[in-house]
């Protein structure tokens, strides 16, 4: 079990993103940030999760919050996924697992009876000062984006 990150400062990071952008945490100061880690582009659960965050995106922006989806997929895969789904937020490529390791989301999982190392679906809310205010690990997709929005709206 990974120790909680709630209450801790997030070290500055830079990550390649869709739309030919590079996202740097310090550039987000003044906005809260939702980082949601998901296993893989174009899979049913990840598609559903992205759709839910997209559906609530205007309300997140109204709450002064940016959303970023993070997986180990490359930028080309992310661009295709984002375009296909019409996501209004950027996807961060973490091929070297820098962010996955920083947030402790890599786990051994069972897939069809085989042990595989992959991302545990997790979400983190980082406040305007760069402090983790809430984390969800082992996320179940239905209703999750709405729950995160409720938390952000109450901050």
Cα dihedral sign, 38-90-132-145: negative
3-state secondary structure of 33: strand
100 a catalytic residue: no
Q: List the catalytic residue out of 32, 46, 65, 100.
A: 46
**CA dist., res. 92 & res. 13, Å (int):** 11
- For the chain, what is the radius of gyration of the CA atoms? 14
Neighbours of 148 (CB within 10 A): 24
User: Which residue is it, tokens 């809260």?
Assistant: 32
Spatial distance between the Cα atoms of 93 and 75, rounded to a whole number of angstroms: 6
* Residues assigned a catalytic role: 46
């Amino acid at each position: 079990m990974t120790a909680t990150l709630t209450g801790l400062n997030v070290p500055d990071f830079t990550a390649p993103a869709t739309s030919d952008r590079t996202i740097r945490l310090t550039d987000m100061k003044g906005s809260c940030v939702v980082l949601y880690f998901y296993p893989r582009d174009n899979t049913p659960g990840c598609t559903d999760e992205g759709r839910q965050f997209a559906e609530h995106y205007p309300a997140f922006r109204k709450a002064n919050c940016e959303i970023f989806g993070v997986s180990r997929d490359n930028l080309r895969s992310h661009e295709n996924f984002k375009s296909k789904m019409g996501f209004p937020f950027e996807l961060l490529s973490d091929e070297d697992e820098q962010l996955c390791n920083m947030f402790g989301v890599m786990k051994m999982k069972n897939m069809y009876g085989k042990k595989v190392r992959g991302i545990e679906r997790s979400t983190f809310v980082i406040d305007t000062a760069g402090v983790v205010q809430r984390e969800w690990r082992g996320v179940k997709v239905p209703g999750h984006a709405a729950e995160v929005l409720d938390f952000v709206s109450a901050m």
